[in-house]
Chains A and B, each alone.
Chain A
Amino acid sequence: MAVEKFEQLTSTAVPLPIENVDTDQIIPARFLKATTREGFGDNLFRDWRYDKNDQPIADFVLNNPIYSGAILVGGKNFGCGSSREHAAWAVGGAGFKVVISSFFADIFKGNALNNGILPITVSDEYLQSIFETIEADPKAQFKVDLVNQKLTNVTSGENASFDINGYKKECLLNGYDDIDYLLNIKDKIQAFELAR
């Protein structure tokens, strides 16, 4: 099953300037009881979004209609904690294609890529400038160009290049996933087993 192709995207962004956003916040454990990948977006940041009576908490960013877009911008160490891929499904299910932070937890980063969501790591300073741009103008646009590995703050014109390994980049550009790759080298895997 291939992932959706990703080449470039221009969108407004949703700011979440909190550090160490863990996967229990992204999708609390009590919502992990499903046996399919769908439907997690509704519970993204559930306990920050809704109070205990399931009423929206007005000052949480996802409940503020001023903010929208396919880019989520988080503080340092985004996605730490549990390995639950449900966190990536929740982020994707809520319509985000790109997550920007100055630092990602390893497992979340891998899970995001395996679901066609692009994690972009920028410097602390650039991250701060993104937050400031959105604060000044919630409708500010950001352009993500995967081919050239470039993130542009359309308002300020500021560019930042970002790293992604060549293999994962090809996967995203073409919509391939790792299982496709591994199935193609199954003979090699079996040969490895025999040689051990």
Chain B
Amino acid sequence: MAGKTLFDKIWDAHVVQEIPDGPSVLYIDRHLIHEVTSPQAFNGLGRRNLKVMRPKQTVATPDHNVPTINQDKPIEDELSRFQVDTLTENCNKYGIDLYGLNTEYQGVVHVMGPQLGVTQPGMTIVCGDSHTSTHGAFGCIAFGIGTSEVEMVLATQCIMQPKPKKMRINVNGQLKPNVSPKDVILYIISKMTAAGGTGYFVEYSGNVFREMSMEGRMTVCNMSIEMGARGGLISPDIKTFEFVEGKKYSPKGADYDKAIAKWAELYTDSDAVFDREVDFDAADIEPMITFGTNPGMGVKITGKIPELSSIDGSEQPSFQKSMNYMGFQAGDTMIGKQVDYVFIGSCTNGRIEDLRVVADYVKGKQKAENVTAWIVPGSKEVERQAKAEGIVEVLEAAGFKMRQPGCSACLAMNDDKIPAGKYAVSTSNRNFEGRQGPGARTMLASPLTAAAVAVAGKVVDPRDVMATA
């Protein structure tokens, strides 16, 4: 019998029941909730007169809709305030741990979860948010769900899922200097396209991921959904165990030792078979930037937007629509493109390592006058670390505006919107039309590229400006 993939090992250990010609009933270890996709689920519980089955397996924080200034004051926007208050009420009513605004650990749910040790290897983790795939960095099956499924997990600690197909993406070789995890995943998505992973769960394998920090692995897994994959995961190792150790929800003492022994079994057997296997050469990856309106529309930052003739005939209208929206022409060079805003933050790149990269680059420099630069830490803990390390001072001295934790301009539910027609270089995960505000034009890039762009005031290759600095 062929061996098992990491995905199979975790999946099989969580199947409560298989339904013939239907989905599997999958047991969920950890459930993260936030203010936007949970209220209707709690309403559903109320209508059916149900309790939360395992309240201690759900952890909540408000993030999507919170302001990133004046968090100590009542939220001005009435609907946002009501949504955040509703989350608080529901958590109190059902006994769910809540990390509310102005408390020690509040933050973007996928930044907060790992920091609290909610995320542990081998778990099934769901959240009403597609970037739940982030937690796959710890060797978890983690994926986004809809609100009906949030209700299922609250009521029964299970959801019904058809088993996805399995894909392995191998990236081996030596990355070039200043090529970051964000560049690696933008490169992969540009090769796979925005739909290339649909129906699959992806395991990332190869020395490139082994050598990445946990934060880098989170950046990679986070964007798995941007190629359509349900999620992505990476086999846990010593780095994973060290990250998890000592966190609030992590096992302690003898329980921790037992846990590590179990976690060490979480790898793909050498003879396991994947439905699809894809290989990339690390040396081919360069700093990346997107030019269009889905994350698959990315190029090397020194590259050009494809010519219309190179696009498949049936895809030309969508491509042209995208170019019209962005105000770009097929064949354009990306270097030198106008930039009005730089956004550094989100569950993709709002962690302390990201802020360190930016601070290292901008130290002693000034942002360009034509650029508004926002830095939004992923959580209160990231904010504390940034203050303690002097990062906040450096960034503010360089003219960056330091905000408070939240999803912010990644999806622009709050007031952090890029104005219509303006160009943003963003470390977030989506460049869809209007994602960062109605009419906003987004180019996705790494924190290093975003920092270099903020200083230069236009799209630049960070390696060029570093060489001449």
Contacts and interface: CB of A to CB of B under 8 A. Distances in A.
Interface of A: 1, 17-20, 22, 24-25, 28-30, 32-37, 47, 52, 75-77, 80-86, 88, 103, 105-107, 110-111, 114-115, 124, 128, 165-168, 177-179, 181-183, 185-186, 188-189, 192-193
A181 B413 CA distance: 35
Given A83-B128, A85-B147, A107-B144, 12 more contacts: A1-B48, A33-B83, A77-B228, A80-B228, A83-B145, A84-B128, A88-B146, A105-B195, A111-B148, A165-B23, A182-B160, A188-B17
A33 B152 contact: no
Interface in B283-317: 294, 314-315, 317
Contact of B152 (A24, A167, A182, A193): A182
Contacts of A32: 36, 64-65, 413
A155 B335 CA distance: 51
Given A33-B83, A167-B22, A179-B44, A114 B435 contact: no
Contacts of A33: 36, 65, 77, 79-80, 82-83, 413
Interface string B430-457: 1011110011000000000000000000
A29 B414 CA distance: 9
Contact of A81 (B20, B420, B432, B439): B432
B333 interface: no
A31 B225 CA distance: 22
B93 interface: no
Given A77-B198, A179-B48, A36 B156 contact: no
Given A1-B44, A188-B16, A188-B17, A24 B65 contact: no
5 contacts: A24-B434, A32-B65, A83-B37, A105-B195, A192-B16
Contact of A18 (B199, B318, B411): B318
B160 A178 contact: yes
Contact of B17 (A111, A185, A193): A185
Rank and list the top 4 A-B pairs by shortest CB-CB distance, nearest first.
Answer: A167-B22, A166-B21, A83-B144, A85-B146
Select the residue from B37, B195, B199, B439 with max chain A CB neighbours within 10 A.
B195
Nearest to B437: A30
**Of B23, B156, B420, which is in contact with the most chain A CB atoms at under 10 Å from its CB?**
B156
Contact of B43 (A35, A81, A128, A182): A35
A115 B27 CA distance: 22
A37 B41 CA distance: 10
Contacts of A167: 19-23, 160
B438 A182 contact: no
A44 to B, nearest CB: 14
B342 interface: no
A111 to B, nearest CB: 4
B25 A185 contact: yes
A106 B432 contact: no
B128 A25 contact: no
B22 A165 contact: yes
Contacts of A115: 148
B151 interface: yes
Given A1-B47, A28-B434, A32-B36, A83 B19 contact: no
Contacts of B162: 165
Nearest to B78: A33
Contacts of B430: 22, 24, 81-82
A86 B41 CA distance: 12
B434 A47 contact: yes
B32 interface: no
Given A166-B21, A166-B22, A181 B228 contact: no
Contact of A107 (B130, B156, B439): B130
A106 B434 CA distance: 22
Given A20-B294, A84-B37, A179 B198 contact: no
A80 B194 contact: yes
